[in-house]
Amino acid sequence: MLIDELRRRLGDPAAGSFQLMGEALQLITVEDLRAAVAAHDAAIPPGLREALLAEEAALGAEAHRWLAKYNRSLYGRIAGYLELGERLAFRYPWPVVAILGIVQVIGGMDRARVYGLAGRLASRFGYDTYEKLGDGSEDVLRRTNRGIFADSVPTVLRALRAEALIAEGKRELADALVAGSAAVLWDAESRTLCRAITDGLVISDEPARFRALADTTLRHFAREQAIFTHHIASRSRTRKLPAAKAVPAPVIAEGRLTFAPFALPPGFDFRDHATRVEAFGRAFVSSVTGSLADYRVATSWVRDRFARK
């Protein structure tokens, strides 16, 4: 697979397939492509080749339309996640969680611009540290947000198609689609995540389905935080990142959603992936998926503010 060739080039067995959408793609050679095509050919079940390749072509075209339409701005991505939520009938919480995350990102970028403004003022006196800090922080946030959308939306679209194939009695084809036997931007975590979404969507009992998909949303969140970690790591470790003792996070109380400061662990470092995933997972996922009732409040909040009138 192409991700295997990239991992070999990078010398990093944990590299994610989302890195194929960034600078790392420059490392791929024609020989890498030949090896990836051979691996895909070997993985495609012979009896499903024609149908699977047709499904991949259709999925690729759909994902391209989706990304070209929505992955252009923060508010464009909010609209895209909202449409994805509607298509899911909001059974899977990820799009709602992603929108709430973007709301916080917008606030974070406003803070980064304050650093930049302070830097421009300081630069008159020969100091540009804050200006560079603000510019770098905003760049990380934008690259991360764009990368998360590009990684997550095609995965959910694939799960939705697999659900439809299962309903049509084409389980073997659905399994091959989820496995990504003919998918280019795919890795083991993508496969596991897509399988969990698909398995959750086909559960008929609503409370059981919600609990399964809420748990999967937490895993999905960890996957996409890896993109944040990747972009943070692309900056020199000697450079300072903004310190934070708390972040604004959604809180459900008395049937209403509000944002309140969520305390971060002492000495919190944005570069600490595991700590960040655990803390932000509680702040942005568990906070709105503790119960089906809480999730419905969060869904209503998102729709009331961002749905087209």
Instruction: Give the residue extent of every domain in the chain.
Output: 1-43, 48-243
Provide the pLDDT for residue 34. 86
Provide the pLDDT for residue 117. 46
Provide the pLDDT for residue 115. 45
Q: How many CB atoms lie within 10 A of CB 20?
A: 19
pLDDT in tens, the chain (309 residues): 777 787 888 888 878 777 777 777 788 788 888 888 888 888 888 899 999 999 999 999 999 999 999 999 999 999 999 999 999 999 999 999 999 999 987 865 555 444 444 444 455 544 454 444 455 567 778 888 888 999 999 999 999 999 999 999 999 999 999 999 888 888 899 999 999 999 999 999 999 999 999 999 999 999 999 888 888 876 545 455 666 789 899 999 999 999 999 999 998 888 889 999 999 999 999 999 999 999 999 999 999 999 875
Q: What span, in angstroms and rounded, lies between the C-alpha atoms of 199 and 44? A: 22
Three-class secondary structure of residue 87 per DSSP = helix
Provide the pLDDT for residue 240. 57
Provide the pLDDT for residue 113. 47
Provide the pLDDT for residue 207. 96
- In Å, how far are 18, 140, 142, 184, 273 from 228, measured between CA atoms? 11, 8, 10, 22, 9
Provide the pLDDT for residue 137. 66
3-state DSSP helix/strand/coil percent for the chain, to nearest 5?
70, 5, 20
What are the DSSP E strand ranges found in the chain? 246-253, 256-263
Q: What span, in angstroms and rounded, lies between the C-alpha atoms of 238 and 231? A: 15
pTM: 0.84
Q: What span, in angstroms and rounded, lies between the C-alpha atoms of 287 and 217? A: 12
Q: Which residues pair with 252 in a beta bridge?
A: 257
CA 129 from centroid of its chain's CA atoms: 31
Burial (0-12, 13-18, 19+ Cβ within 10 Å), 306: middle
Interacting residues of 73 by C-beta distance below 8 A, sequence separation 6+: none
What are the DSSP E strand ranges found in 212-255? 246-253
Provide the pLDDT for residue 238. 45
